[in-house]
Amino acid sequence: MSEDATATAELKLPKDLAAEKGLVNVQIDGHWIQVPRGTRMIEAAKIAEKEIPHYCYHPKLSSPGNCRMCLVQMGMPPRPVPGEAPTFGDDGYQQIGWMPRPVIACANTVAENMGIRTTGELVESCREGVMEFLLINHPLDCPICDQAGECKLQEFSVQHGRGQSRFQETKIKKPKNVDIGKNIRLDDERCIMCSRCIRFMEEVAEEPVLGFSQRGTHTSVTVHPGRRLDNNYALNTADICPVGALTSNDFRFQMRVWFLKETKSIDLNCGTGCNTTIWTRANEVFRVTPRQNNDVNSDWMPDSHRLAFHHLESDARLTAPLIQKDGAHSSSTWTEAISKAAEGLNMRQPKEVAIIASARMSNEELYLAKKLADALGTDLISTVARKGDSDSKLISADRNPNSTGAALIFGNEDPSEKLDAIREGVSSGRIKALIVLQEDLLEEAGFDQSNLLGLEHLVSSHILANPTAAASKVVLPGAGFAEKRATYVNVTGRLQRAFQATLAPGDAREDWETLASLLSAVEKTFETPASVDGVIKALASEIPAFEGQSFGSIGDLGVQITETGVTIPLLEQEKARVESGLING
Amino acid sequence: MATIKVNRPKLSAGEKIYFGSIFKGMAITLRHAFKTLFGKSVGADELASSGMGITMQYPEQKWDEHLPEYYRGVPALVTDEQQRERCVSCQLCEFICPPKAIKIIPSEIPSDDEWAKVEKRPKKFEIDMIRCIYCGMCEEVCPEQAIYLRPDYIVTGTKRSDMVHDKERLYEIGGTRVGLVNKWNDLK
Ligand code: SF4
Ligand code: SF4
Ligand code: SF4
Ligand code: SF4
Ligand code: FES
C-alpha cells in the first residue's frame, strides 16, 4: 500500500467506511455497531443482542406501532447551524444529543451516528407505565388462562412491571370464551389490542375477517358480522397472539406448555415440508406448531396440516406384526413375520415380484426399498402420485412430502411412472407377489379389492389398519412421522430432517428397520446398519445429489441439494412485501 | 486467609479418666428404669401411653390430640361453601411437587355449565401417596387455595393402586373451606 492510500484510509471517517458497504453506524447502549441502512431500530438492537420488549411488532407483518412497549431513548448529532461544519470526536463520531422524549423502536429506522438506549431511567419508566396501562383491565387469571407459561404479558410484567396494581376501580367486562371459528377461541378480556391477528389475517392469510370495534378502553377484537375465522391459516393467529386472547380449540386446556418437550421436525402432509416443532409429554403429542424457516414456510403453517397429528393416537394403529392364516390375522413376532414375508418372495421369479413404495416415506426408507427391489431382481418399483390443488400459499399441489427424494433415489424423473404397469401386471396375474409400503392401494393407487385378493403373496407395512392391510398375508406395523428420525426432500429440492419425538406404540418399528430386516432375509450378504445414520451414509455415497450429507450436515433449516424450479407462493408474496418496504422480513 | 487458632478445652483430672461420664449415663438410665417400676415416666401421661414407659401403643392409641396446628398430613383438595371445586387445574402443584406425586388431566368446563365462566377444572387429579413426601409445596404454590395438607396421616392399602388418591377421595379428605375465591365473581 502506498503512503498516500494509508493516509486517506486514516482520514476516512467511520460514516464513510460504513457508507461504502451500504451500512450506517449506530450506537446501542454505548457500543458502536454497523447495520444495513433502513434497518428498524428494534432489529438493530437484536443484532446487538439487546432485547427490546414488544407486543405489536412482528417482522413478517406491518408495524402500526400501537402497543408502545418498545419505547427507547434515541439520540442524533445536533443539527449544525447553516455554514457550520460538523465536528467529529477523536473516535471519528459526532457527539450524540439525546432526545428527552422516547421513540418507538419498531417503526423507526436507524440513521448514521444515531444513538439508542435500550435501558436507563427514561426507558424503564416508560415500560413500567405501558405495563401498568395494559394490566388495568386485564383479568389476571393466569391460573386458568391457557397462555400461562408462554405469555409475553406475564414475562414482561415480571421484568418491567410494578408488581402491584394501583387501579382501584372496577375492571371493564368484555366478551369471554367467544366462538369465532372452528379452530380458534377468543377471550377479549385478555386481549392487549396489539392487532397482530388482524394484520395477519389481512396481510398474510388475505381474508380480513378480524377487526377492532368500540373505542378507548372498550376496544375489542371482533370477527366481522356474519363471518367466521375459518381460514385454513387461522391457527397462526393463536401462535402470534402474545397473550391468551386467541387460543387453539384443539390444544387449549390439554396440557401446560412447561411440561412439553419440543422436538424439531417437518410437516409431511404436502411437498412444502413446513418446518415444525412437535410438543410432547411422555409419549403423547400435544400440538404441532410452525418453526421459522425463511426458505420454506416463513413463520406459518396451514391448520389442516398442524392438526393432522391426531392419527398417531388412533385406535386403528397397528401395534404388532400380523400373519394371515386361513383368512384371519393373528399377531406374531417380528422374526416370524419377516421370515414369512421373505419366504413368499424368495420362491418367486424376479418378474413375478413388484414393490409399491410411497413418496411419504423418508429418503432412507426409499433407498432401502430400492435396494430390496434390486435384491429381488425386479425393476418394478413405484410410488403413488398424490395431486391436489395448491392453495397459492403454503400447501403444495404435490401432496407427497418426498416426491423429489423418491425421484432422486429411484433415478427417475417420475417415481410413480411404473404404477400403471404394476397394476396391470397384478390384474393380469403376471405379478404374484407384491410388497406395499405405507400406501392403501384402494385409495390413490386405483387398485380394487379383486386385484388384492388375486395376489398369491401380499406383504404390506402401514401405520393404521386399512383394506390393503386386511388383504395382506403379512402386515408389518410402521412408525408415524413423529416416531422416527428421518430425512425428506421438499418440492423445491431442499433436504430437511425430522427428529424423533415419541416412540412407536407396541411392537411397531421404524420402517427402515423393517426394510433392512426384509433385505437381509432376501439377500444374505446384506449387512444391516446399526442405526439410520448408516443408511444415510450408504445413501450419500451412492446417490450423487446426497453426496457428503449426513444427519448433522443438514442442520435445522435444511440444505438445498437440487434445484427443481418450484417456488412456494407464500414466500414470493412475502418477498414482494419486503421489497415494497411494508414489512421487515 | 486468616488462621484461627482453636485451643483444646482444659480437662480436669476427673474428666480425663472418662469412666466418670460413663457412670453418669448409666445412672440416668437406671433412674428411669426404677421410676417405671413405681409409676410412669415423665411425659407418659401426656402422650397417653398405655404401659409404664413412654411408648404409645399405636394404633390403639393415636397422636391425634397432640398434633400441632401446623401438622402436615395428606394433601387433599377442598371445595368452597357451595361445593364448587376450587381447583382450576393450573398444574402448578404438579410442576412443583418434588417427587412428582401429582398427576392432573385438565379439562374445559362445558359452556352450558353454571360455572362455565371459570373455564377449567381437573378431569383427573391423582396424588400417589407412595411418592408424596408431605412437603407442603403444593399447598404453598396453589394460586386458588385449593389444595391443603390435612391432619390425616393414616394412608394404608393392600395394593399400590390403593395408595393413589383420586379426585373423589381427595375431595372427601379435603372437605370444605370457607373464604372468598375471586374467580367466581363476575366483577373483579
Ligand atoms: S394472557 Fe397472560 S397475563 Fe393474561 S391471564 Fe393469560 S397468561 Fe395471564
Ligand atoms: S387477540 Fe391477540 S393478537 Fe389479536 S389484537 Fe388481541 S392480543 Fe393482539
Ligand atoms: S395448584 Fe391448586 S389450582 Fe393449580 S392444579 Fe394444583 S390444586 Fe389445582
Ligand atoms: S405434599 Fe409435597 S410431595 Fe406431597 S403432593 Fe404436595 S408437593 Fe407433592
Ligand atoms: S412493538 Fe413498537 S409499538 Fe408495539
Closest CB to A141: pick one of B92, B183, B187: B183
Residues of A in contact with B144 (CB under 8 A): 143
Say how many domains are in chain B. 2
The hierarchical CATH code for the domain A12-134 is 3.10.20.740
Query: Same domain, yes or no, for B74 and B122?
Result: yes
Phi, psi of A185 (to 5 degrees): -120, 140
CB contact under 8 Å between B106 and A148, yes or no, is no
- B76 in the same domain as B19: no
Higher pLDDT, A5 or A439: A439
- CA A126-A170-A198 angle, to 5 degrees, is 60
- Interval A57-70 mean pLDDT: 95
Cell numbers at B169, concatenated: 377421595
- In this structure, the residues whose C-beta lies within 6 A of any atom of ligand 4 are B 75, 97-99, 101-102, 127, 132-138, 149
Q: Which mutation among A194, A200, A235 tests ligand 2's pocket best, with the greatest number of atoms within 8 A of CB? A: A194
- Together in a domain, B36 and B89: no
- Residue A9, CB half-sphere, CA atoms under 13 Å: how many? 6
Asked whether the beta carbons of A423 and A455 are under 8 A apart, the reply is: no
Q: Which of A37-46, A468-477, A499-508, B12-21 has the lowest mean pLDDT?
A: B12-21
- Beta strands in A218-357, from DSSP E residues, in sequence order: 220-223, 246-248, 261-266, 275-281, 284-290, 322-325, 328-331, 353-356
**CA angle A552–A553–A556, rounded 5-degree value:** 75
* Closest-CA residue of chain B to A170: B188
Report which bound ligand comes closest to the CA of B107: 3
User: Looking at the structure, do residues B26 and B73 belong to the same domain, yes or no?
Assistant: no
Nearest-CA neighbor of B86 among B165, B170, B2?
A: B170
CA distance A251 to chain B (A): 11
Stretch(es) of chain A classified as CATH 3.10.20.740: 12-134
Confidence grade of residue A1 (pLDDT, cut at 50, 70, 90): very low
pLDDT of residue B92: 97
Whether B52 and B128 map to the same domain: the answer is no
Termini Cα distance of chain A: 41
Amino acid B41: pLDDT: 66
- The CA-atom distances, in angstroms, between A578 and each of A347, A574, B22 are 62, 6, 90
User: Across the strands, what pairs with A210?
Assistant: A223
Return d(Cα B48, Cα A103) in angstroms, integer. Answer: 75
Q: Are residues B90 and B154 in the same domain?
A: yes
- SS3 call for A122: helix
pTM assigned to the model: 0.90
Q: Please indicate, yes or no, if residue B8 is contained in any of the structural domains.
A: no
pLDDT one-digit tens code per residue, A112-156 = 999 999 999 999 999 999 999 999 999 988 999 999 999 999 999
Q: Report the CATH number at residue B120.
A: 3.30.70.3270
CA of A175 vs chain B CAs: smallest distance (Å) = 11
d(CA A67, CA B160): 54
Chain B nearest C-alpha distance from A76 (Å): 46
Q: Do B143 and A139 touch (CB under 8 A)?
A: no
Give yes or no for a contact between A458 and A431, defined as CB atoms under 8 angstroms apart: no
Inside any domain, residue B180: no
- Please give the torsion angle defined by the CA atoms of residues B11, B16, B19 and B22, in that order, rounded to the nearest 10 degrees: 30
Task: Look up residue A56 and give its DSSP letter.
Answer: S
User: Amino acid identity of A195?
Assistant: S
Task: Dihedral sign for Cα A494, A498, A504, A508, please.
Answer: positive
pLDDT digits (tens, 9 = 90+) for A517-569: 999 999 989 989 999 999 999 999 999 999 999 999 999 999 999 999 999 99
d(C-alpha A134, C-alpha A242), whole Å: 12
Taking CA atoms, A422 is separated from A418, A436, A442, A471, in Å, by: 6, 11, 14, 17
User: A322-570: what fold?
Assistant: Rossmann fold (3.40.50)
Q: Is residue B137 in a domain? A: yes
Complex confidence, ipTM: 0.86
Is the pLDDT at A2 greater than 50? The verdict is: no
Residue with C-alpha cell 486468616?
Answer: B2
Task: Extract the C-alpha cell encoding A292.
Answer: 421459522
Residue B73 lies in a domain: yes
Mutate to test the interface with A, among B95, B108, B147, B185 (most CBs of A within 10 A): B108
